[in-house]
Chains A and B, each alone.
Chain A
């Protein structure tokens, strides 16, 4: 006890030092920086994957000169974009034009806050959890709308409008799916959602309890990411590049980043909500229990958790990349019809079914 008190006192004495206070502040930022670094690396990997997978689908070679297997291609592209001239449209609204991409990036980055990569390995285990993501991801279209509007270009404007219409109509089915999941797990916290799936191994995953919800979530998250069957806001053949038309340099790079960040967030959420998060769901844990709570085992389990989460997420990423390079694009009215007349009633029905089952089981 004495030792304890001494320790507390020493800590308090450190607290009094202004310099160390700053150091401590920096240390508290450290996880955030680590996460940012991790996300950046993952985005680079996704870009590389997309290029290689699309190349093999299209019987091309893909990037091969920048680094081994072209791994550094994404970094090279990013560096190029960083050094490119930032062209501002002379008749556009410059401030909105600059704010647009940053709003989009920040809103997507914020949603990484609630994604658990391993057991309690999460930046903020908020009680509203998933709904933070739903709320924050609605901000991104505002950035796109700003970008489209401020470019003073008709293609950009149409692209921005399309982005807004699309994200509004697909967010509702998405939210209903998330609601159904949160009903099943009696919590909105992402950690609790994963925990709720860990009971019955492989068959405890929400994908078996919510197959319809899973499909609806898959489709609407693709639409939220503006990827190919639904990439109308930047439809090259119609709107040149949509809201990105006037952007160049790193601001264009930010939009590029947003699309891949979005994809990463969606795939991680698919993992968390439907695929059992960091649980491998194969009874290997008994093997680890043998060693008792060893620190090394804890770290091993942590890395295993991260690895498993990422593997599941990349599985979904692979599916969405393959979809992008095989399917044609939908038309705007067809897209809205699918959202409002098909996905919305189905997800609503799914939610009602889930609610009634939950009521019966109570």
Chain B
């Protein structure tokens, strides 16, 4: 920390964990010289629940309800990665229809997450009204989720080998309606926000990250793409059926908060494009690979004895994770969400390492806010887009 020689008495301000703009329970210890930020030290862990350890004594299907509590605004992604890891580990194929349903759900969830980024980001800049506008659209997404999964936020919808339930009758039309409606909504946001001179003054050039820096810090998602690097896991490491759709990676080269805003708004449009294509050509067929339900064929199982496979109609399969390890990743709205999974020939994962995008992206915050103004902390923190649920896990 380099102190200016003229000033001896710097003010140390503690922001958070209870602070109106700390996006959950992040705590920043900020050293201020008047309005200038000299130093900033983030303190994490107020929402740590031991998510990785919890995974080690549960089967995957038992663990699924927990995962939506990592990033509780992009819930589908946490479920997707949780089922993708064992699927890739055991090389399980999923039906094409299930894959399409997953893509639709993921992209809807991406829009919901970006919307609930946009509102608080604008609120951080002092404009309260967009918060209410984004909820208008987000409600519709959550209504769609509720219709398909039965839950608005904590869906527990993805299963190893498919999804828990097929789309209900009429859902596809509703989804298309939403797409048409939402495209107009995005235009409205653009008109209201993007050209606003005060907004531009607040975000332009604030929190600049060069492309090289972004790579070196391990940033991912919109943070990385706003710095001029066209890295989207849906393109570079395709999963589900993303390679069957026509869409473009959104990126900007400026690397400031405005660029990150533009990338996210652009991504919402691209997500709508993907959803529209997926909904148009969603194939029929099964929505779940039923083979997955029975994996371990034990011959001498006793009737009425306690065994995982007899637990219910859709039981958690006694699905064994073989003694292998792998890293799987999806492109979550905040960046690269990854799981490092180590199996041990048992029902439970031996190790379940989560790579949350928010945690990695947050690391660059102290460097970005130095030599900026006090108000820029909120702009930069908002543009990073963190959810403490996944940062602390």
Contact = CB atoms under 8 A, between A and B. Distances in A.
Contacts of A326: 127, 129, 192
Interface in A221-262: 228-229, 231-232, 235-238, 240
A332 B375 CA distance: 8
B122 A328 contact: yes
Interface residues of A, number: 26
Interface stretch (B56-64, B194-202, B250-258, B288-296): B194-202
Nearest to B36: A333
Interface string A157-199: 0100000000000000000000000000000000000000000
Contacts of B202: 328-331, 334
Contacts of A315: none
Contact of A328 (B13, B196, B376): B196
Interface stretch (A13-21, A52-60, A276-284, A350-358): A52-60
A133 interface: no
B19 interface: yes
Contacts of A330: 126, 198, 201-202
A307 interface: no
A328 B133 contact: no
A121 interface: no
Contacts of A327: 126-127, 196, 198
Contacts of B32: 158
Contacts, number: 81
B362 interface: no
A332 B35 contact: yes
Given A59-B133, A238-B21, A330-B201, A325 B374 contact: no
A237 B20 contact: yes
Given A57-B129, A59-B133, A240 B19 contact: yes
A118 B293 CA distance: 84
Contact of B20 (A57, A58, A60, A240): A240
A60 to B, nearest CB: 6
A331 B376 contact: yes
Given A231-B126, A237-B21, A326-B127, A331 B375 contact: yes
A120 interface: no
Interface in B346-393: 373-378
Interface in A53-101: 57-60
A172 to B, nearest CB: 21
B interface majority secondary structure: helix
Range of interface residues on B (Cβ < 8 Å)? 20 to 34
B140 interface: no
- Residue from B13, B123, B131 having most chain A Cβ neighbours under 10 A: B13
A61 to B, nearest CB: 12
A232 to B, nearest CB: 8
Given A240-B19, A327-B196, A334 B11 contact: no
Interface in A15-63: 57-60
B43 to A, nearest CB: 17
A17 to B, nearest CB: 60
Interface in B310-352: none
A325 B133 CA distance: 12
Contacts of A59: 132-133, 136
B125 interface: yes
Contact of B378 (A58, A238, A325): A238
Contact of A237 (B123, B133, B196): B123
B79 interface: no
Nearest to B377: A238
A235 B128 CA distance: 12
A170 to B, nearest CB: 16
B18 to A, nearest CB: 9
Nearest to A336: B35
A155 interface: yes
Given A59-B133, A154-B11, A155-B13, A328 B19 contact: no
- Residue from A59, A331, A334 having most chain B Cβ neighbours under 10 A: A331
Contact of A333 (B125, B127, B199, B373): B373
Nearest to A241: B20
B87 interface: no
Contacts of B132: 58-60
Contacts of B19: 240
Interface in A296-333: 325-333
Nearest to A155: B13
A83 B57 CA distance: 53
B13 A235 contact: no
10 contacts: A158-B13, A158-B32, A237-B21, A240-B20, A327-B196, A327-B198, A328-B126, A328-B196, A329-B127, A331-B375
Given A158-B32, A236-B20, A328-B122, 18 more contacts: A59-B132, A60-B132, A154-B11, A158-B11, A229-B126, A238-B377, A240-B19, A325-B128, A325-B129, A326-B127, A326-B129, A328-B127, A328-B202, A330-B126, A330-B198, A331-B202, A331-B376, A333-B373
